[in-house]
Amino acid sequence: MTVRDRSDPTWAKSRFAQWWTGDVWKVIPVLRSYRPDLSITMFDCPPTGLVSITNLDPASQRLDSAYVEIVGRFSSKDIDRKAYDNYWTTLSIEKSKEFSTAQHLATKFWI
């Protein structure tokens, strides 16, 4: 939602400066890297967005088996700014108003 360091000049320019969601944004690149089989849809729901993850496989051990690698790769503070900026350039965010009816949801996700 915003940068970690409030002295970063981009913080003052952010329309989300008052919101803080921590490093939860890193879940999406982790899942994209280690579970490309998942279907991930992001929505523009205020105040911090909404992510729908489908095509789940409860038997998958991929994240468990790669845990140490994932933590090593995604926990570094050194990658935060560059990775965060890259993250925003790779997103496709759906308009939540287009998914407001149950009929549309059924058509989009389950048929």
Convert the pLDDT of each residue in 39-88 to its tens digit.
Answer: 999 888 877 788 999 999 999 999 999 999 999 988 876 556 677 777 77
Within 10 angstroms of residue 54's Cβ, the number of other Cβ atoms is: 10
Q: Is residue 1 part of a domain?
A: no
Asked if residues 14 and 3 have their Cβ atoms less than 8 Å apart, the reply is: yes
Record the pTM: 0.67
Q: Is residue 4 part of a domain?
A: no
**Owning domain of residue 79:** 9-109
Q: Is residue 102 part of a domain?
A: yes
Question: What tokens does 88 get?
Answer: 């925003």
Q: Is residue 3 part of a domain?
A: no
Q: Is residue 2 part of a domain?
A: no
Q: Give the model confidence (pLDDT) of 7-40 as tens digits.
A: 777 666 666 666 667 778 788 989 999 999 999 9
Q: Would strands 50-54 and 93-94 be described as parallel, antiparallel, or unpaired?
A: unpaired
Q: Is residue 67 part of a domain?
A: yes
**Domain tally for the chain?**
1
Q: Is residue 25 part of a domain?
A: yes
Q: Is residue 82 part of a domain?
A: yes
